[in-house]
Structure 1
Amino acid sequence: MHMFKVATLYKFVPLDNLIALQQKLQSICQALTGTLLIASEGINGTIAGLPDLLDKAMAEIEAMPSFDNLWYQYSQATHKPFGRLKIRIKKEIITMHQPKPLSMSLRGRHVVAADWNNRLDQAAVVIDVRNNYEYRLGSFKGAINPETTYFSQFPSFVETHLKPYKDQPIAMFCTGGIRCEKASAYMLANGFKEIYQLSGGILQYLAHTAEDASRWQGECFVFDERISLGHGLKKGSALLCYGCRMPLKKEDLDDDYKPGLRCKFCSKDK
């Protein structure tokens, strides 16, 4: 059995000539699978392949002047986590649909995994910046769920729920950190004063925090065939409904449920 190596990566950096960049990344990553999004604001995505091929591609990407200090987190998969390679040009690498581009020089203060538990205790409020279906699988105890379906709904949540905390310390987290980068930029541009974000996101925390010292509860949804990861970035137990694409926990499943069948969430939509 082949073991596949997976790299989750991002960087906010001004980019131009995106078509040429798309072609270059296509060439560099031709032996890999996964998705990379590029836009004038930067790069974001997850790619996977055999370890030596992924390491070679990552070295070439990092050697590009725009992508020095690229953030990335490695994990493993026992099966190929993506069907094919997609390099896409987008308007935003994280879609927020704001009328004016955000200044990404405004970002929350990064907190490394080793210091995150203390920050959770000191924050006036802790926000899970991910979407509702991700929150369902797991989160930090006491974190607020914005109940969004799309990240572009997060600004509305800020306006309706977080104004009382404008002058208080706010801690935020997401899967790999990129959504917090943009969320904190939005909040700082709108008068919030003290925002902290989990550096490298949940993936970094699960990779570097012992389970007996962890504040994380449940599993972390990932956007590939593994579906969810647990401590040590080991594959979790979640399944994915083929009908509604909802990630499913064990307690969501009837005794006779089998992968490929529709789940209880599908029936709610009928």
Structure 2
Amino acid sequence: MVTEYCAVAKEMKQENTQVVAAFYKFVRLPDFAEKQNSLLSYCLVQGIKGTILLAAEGINGTIAGSRQAIDSVITFLRSDPRLADLEYKESYTDIPPFERMKVRLKQEIVTLGLPEINPNDLVGTYVSPQEWNDLISDPEVTVIDARNDYEVNIGTFKGAQNPQTESFREFPEYIRDNLDPNRHKKVALFCTGGIRCEKASSFMLAQGFAEVYHLKGGILKYLEEVPDEESLWQGECFIFDERVAVRHGLEEGSHELCFCCGHPISEADKTSPKYEEGISCAYCFDSLSEDKRVRQQEKWRQYQLKMKNC
């Protein structure tokens, strides 16, 4: 009886598991606006939720749904010859990470603020996860984390520079102010899924840097394929859905988001005297006025009542 119950419970859990697919591709899509409605309709019919961005320079998306639904959407995307070789990364969650489905039209699929920088025209050298350790261990290579400061703070590669940016738009200024093409002959870039470092490589080559490398598939591909015991990764990797962060094997990490400011917080962050569940954390405590604190307390109370009645 117990064995049968466990088997049924396991089957139910598998049925509820959501497949999360993250993908992007820099490719010329002059008709990107015409693809919006058909792509949105197809995703809605499949019960898919998430966000897909379309621009003249390509496509970028993260979606979640059943195994069959994800496979169907990927097949639909690849039916366009320009996306026939579209690659994607998968992870899994028991909690649906998105509330709705959106297909948005943008000037850039990742916003650098320089639409003229296009990886379709110029791009750095792709480096596989298996080759990455050797590259960043070379003392002649400058390793740069192309993500934002709050992402870097919860995990990064050993020895990588943190540009301390608040948005990707600030990355070009950091490069102009801190790196010199005449001195920094070899540069290695990385980011979550590969899209930001790919575009950053294009920018740096346009600035005259001779050798620019970037991690193919990003940190997520590295954590998926490189064994923990061989890894040069330290910490967890922030991701943009309700799982907050993942670690090796793309298993869900230990971070959660502050209910007030949305900053990722660890178990150690919760020991701060400035942390109060649902009200504040060390990253937002000092900016909370008394009025805002009172409003946040009420917001947290309403949230708890809603969860209790679910």
Report the TM range for the smaller structure's normalisation. Answer: over 0.9
* Alpha carbons 1:6, 1:77 under 8 Å: kept: yes
Q: Say if 1:198 and 1:227 are closer, same or farther in 2 by CA, change over 3 A.
A: same
Q: How far has the Cα of 1:48 moved from its partner?
A: 0.6
Kindly name which structure, 1 or 2, has the bigger radius of gyration based on alpha carbons: 2
Hey, what does 2:77 align to over in structure 1? 61
Aligned residue runs from structure 1 range 5-84, under 5 A: 5-30=19-44, 31-84=47-100
Distance 1:268 1:142 in 2: 31
The reply on whether 1:245 has 2:259 as its aligned counterpart is: no
The reply on whether 1:157 has 2:174 as its aligned counterpart is: yes
Q: Say if 1:214 and 1:63 are closer, same or farther in 2 by CA, change over 3 A.
A: same
Q: How far has the Cα of 1:87 moved from its partner?
A: 0.7
Hey, what does 1:264 align to over in structure 2? 282
Hey, what does 1:117 align to over in structure 2? 133
* Alpha carbons 1:10, 1:45 under 8 Å: kept: yes
TM-score by length of 2: 0.83
Query: How many residues are paired up?
Result: 270
Q: How far has the Cα of 1:77 moved from its partner?
A: 1.0
Instruction: Answer 1 or 2: higher relative contact order, Cα 8 Å, separation at least 6.
Output: 1
Q: How far has the Cα of 1:35 moved from its partner?
A: 0.6
| DSSP-derived class of the 1:38 partner | strand
Q: Which has the larger displacement, 62-71 or 138-147?
A: 62-71
- Among 128, 149, 157, which residue is 1:140 paired with? 157
- Percent of residue pairs bearing the same amino acid type: 43
Distance 2:72 2:178 in 1: 45
* Alpha carbons 1:4, 1:77 under 8 Å: kept: yes
Distance 1:104 1:163 in 2: 24
Distance 1:165 1:180 in 2: 21
Q: How far has the Cα of 1:165 moved from its partner?
A: 5.8
Distance 1:119 1:268 in 2: 41
TM-score by length of 1: 0.95
Hey, what does 2:212 align to over in structure 1? 195
Distance 2:22 2:240 in 1: 10
Greater helix proportion: 2
Aligned residue runs from structure 1 range 163-178, under 5 A: 163=180, 168-178=185-195
| DSSP-derived class of the 2:284 partner | helix
Q: How far has the Cα of 1:170 moved from its partner?
A: 0.9
